[in-house]
Structure 1
Amino acid sequence: MRKNNFTGFAFASPWIIGFLVFTLYPLGASLYYGFTDFNVFQSPNFVGLDNYNELMKDDLFWKSVRNTLYLTVISTPLNLLFSLLTAMLLNSRIRGLSVYRTVYYIPTIIPLAATSLLWMWIMNAQFGLLNAFLGWLGLPQPNWLADPALSKLSLILMGLWSVGNIIIIFLASLQEVPQSLYESASIDGAGMLRKFTNITVPWISPIILFQLIMQIINNLQYFTQAYFVVSSTNLNQGASGGPENSLLVYAMYLYHNAFQYFKMGKASAMAWILFVMAGIITWVIFKSSKKWVTYGGGD
């Protein structure tokens, strides 16, 4: 028995060592650094709750929180609804279906840097494709990325282009819904909307719950596209958060504190605040899911 245990631990040791070194130790270190004044070049100096108190009084911190929550609240339901409706279209019987499925999935394999560059060109105020199309229709041509009122909406539009992974998961779940349910509903005179609300949504509700939680967590950590847009254009104003810091998302401000200002203690405190925020939101969603998520194939 002991020999079998030793053999099992020996095979699992690469993962165990990796978990201890690259996951557990960084977690413990960041928790400790959150209570210290640490700039990498000097030993950490314990300061208690000073980092957290400083954050509570930091206007840029609260600006980053508001920007991130805005993106999360608007982008999450929009991405889920768009992905679900697209998956339903891709689940229908039409010619060239495999081509359409491939087209919708391809953007997800393009690096975010390339995606950001592409959309920065599309949304360019002077020669962008989007404004050219709006001008052809005789509509206003806004400065998408440089206007504080539109910059976050621009990022949300960029995000809609890369929801292929969500579409694929929704598509797989839709194919598990028994067609006999739809046939019975048709016999009873149910329309498309009734079938969607009474059959489709309850049956795939566990997948919707999963996607909802993953989208919220991803949006709370939103970083790459906002940082790339700000760093690659002349939008690098103020605290490097774009026009009036409208693109200063939470993860970007954490990055600034850690690697520009070398305030590792403050950055660690921000990381743990984000962890607690995500944990609370996830817990609330799980508690509420008892009222709208149906398990066991819709039974």
Structure 2
Amino acid sequence: MEKRNYPLIYLFLLPSIVMFLVFYLVPIITVFTTSFTEWNGFNSPEFVGMGNYIRLFANKAFLYSLRNLLLWSLIAMTLHVGFGVLVAFILFRKPKGWKFTRAVFMVPNVISTAAWALIYKFIFNNDMGILNNLIRKVNPDFNVQWFYNSPYAFWAVTFTWLFFAVIVTLIVLNDLMAIPEEVNEAAKVDGATALQVAFKIHLPLCRNSIGTAMILSITSRVAMYETIVLTTAGGPGDDTMNLPLILVNSIMNLKHGYANSIGVIMFIIGLATLFIINKSFRMNESVY
């Protein structure tokens, strides 16, 4: 490309660069700098050093949030992503009714997170919920308030997202469909079974999409707010407490500096997730 075209390229990039600086970089810098201050959002921030972080790590709710996040992340990167990958491999074989199944699988993701949380609140309701009424067909004495009793609340929240992995499915399915047909034909010529092709050829070739799905799934757990606030509000006790809930509560109490220290922790967790999975799945390397 001739150098004389560079000014035009920079001109087209300018709006995106300005938007990135104004709406991303400046807020990120503000969050980091004000996390070291005592700030109520109205008066000028007062520098307190590591005070917010010391208070944060001394807060039991924060430690419980990290524990819950770790458990949810492990579930997300194994069961949640695993289920989405399994569905993708099944749909890739195009069984009878696969298009209808793909469309139905999309439905929960069309509904907003808040609406889906309220739907599940009724599903898990002890008196009129579908789940408990089905269980009482076998055990008439069964009575559990799923979102309000420990340890059931943690698993009730988990089930609101665990099996709705359509984003994972679509990403991996797209990767499967991009595999050159020559690769499949060569495997058939060599006498590979369908199972061998799936595990030894297709699965390794989909490592980038699976890694991407893991990043999306884990970071979604880091930012999970609506589902918890509309079902358990972090309870019972601290069974479903998480970082966004503490952050929002801190803002409501005009503790913006403290809230931003939580934002910094969430930002670091997101970057660490990106780095670890990127390295583990060798996502910067070509798969072919």
Q: TM-score range by the shorter chain?
A: 0.7 to 0.9
Q: Distance in 1 between matches of 2:5 and 2:174?
A: 40
Q: Which of 146, 149, 171 is equivalent to 1:147?
A: 149
Which residue of the partner structure matches residue 225 of structure 1?
A: 227
Q: How many percent of aligned residue pairs carry the same amino acid? A: 26
Provide the aligned length of Structure 1 versus Structure 2.
Answer: 286
Specify every segment of 5 or more residues in structure 1 that has no aligned partner in the other structure, as ranges.
Answer: 231-239
Q: What letter corresponds to residue 94 of structure 2 in structure 1?
A: R
Structure 1 residue 262: deviation in Å? 1.3
SS in 1 for 2:160: helix
TM-score by length of 2: 0.88
Q: Does 1:84 align with 2:82?
A: no
Q: Deviations over 1:154-187 (max 9, x none)?
A: 1221103432222111211222335565565566
Structure 1 residue 266: deviation in Å? 0.8
Q: Which of 255, 261, 264 is equivalent to 2:256?
A: 264
Q: Does 1:255 align with 2:237?
A: no
Which residue of the partner structure matches residue 162 of structure 2?
A: 160
1:285-296 superposed matches below 5 A: 285-290=277-282, 295-296=286-287
1:23/1:184 CA distance change after superposition, 3 Å: closer
Q: Distance in 2 between matches of 1:146 and 1:222?
A: 18
Q: Does 1:134 align with 2:132?
A: no
Q: Does 1:39 align with 2:30?
A: no
Which residue of the partner structure matches residue 197 of structure 2?
A: 195
* Greater Cα shift, 55-64 or 188-197: 188-197
1:167/1:48 CA distance change after superposition, 3 Å: same
Which residue of the partner structure matches residue 205 of structure 1?
A: 207
Structure 1 residue 34: deviation in Å? 0.5
C-alpha contact 2:278 2:284 (8 A) present in aligned 1: no
Q: Deviations over 1:259-299 (max 9, x none)?
A: x2211111111111222222223322233334x997333xx
Which residue of the partner structure matches residue 174 of structure 2?
A: 172
Q: Deviations over 1:103-131 (max 9, x none)?
A: 11121111111111111111111111111
1:45/1:175 CA distance change after superposition, 3 Å: same
Which residue of the partner structure matches residue 241 of structure 1?
A: 234
* Greater Cα shift, 12-21 or 202-211: 12-21
Specify every segment of 5 or more residues in structure 2 that has no aligned partner in the other structure, as ranges.
Answer: none
Structure 1 residue 28: deviation in Å? 1.4
TM-score by length of 1: 0.85
Q: What letter corresponds to residue 278 of structure 1 in structure 2?
A: G
Q: Which of 266, 273, 277 is equivalent to 1:281?
A: 273
1:169/1:286 CA distance change after superposition, 3 Å: closer
Q: Distance in 2 between matches of 1:280 and 1:129?
A: 40
Question: What root-mean-square deviation, in Å, do the aligned CA atoms of Structure 1 and Structure 2 show?
Answer: 2.7
Q: Distance in 2 between matches of 1:97 and 1:53?
A: 53
C-alpha contact 2:62 2:242 (8 A) present in aligned 1: no
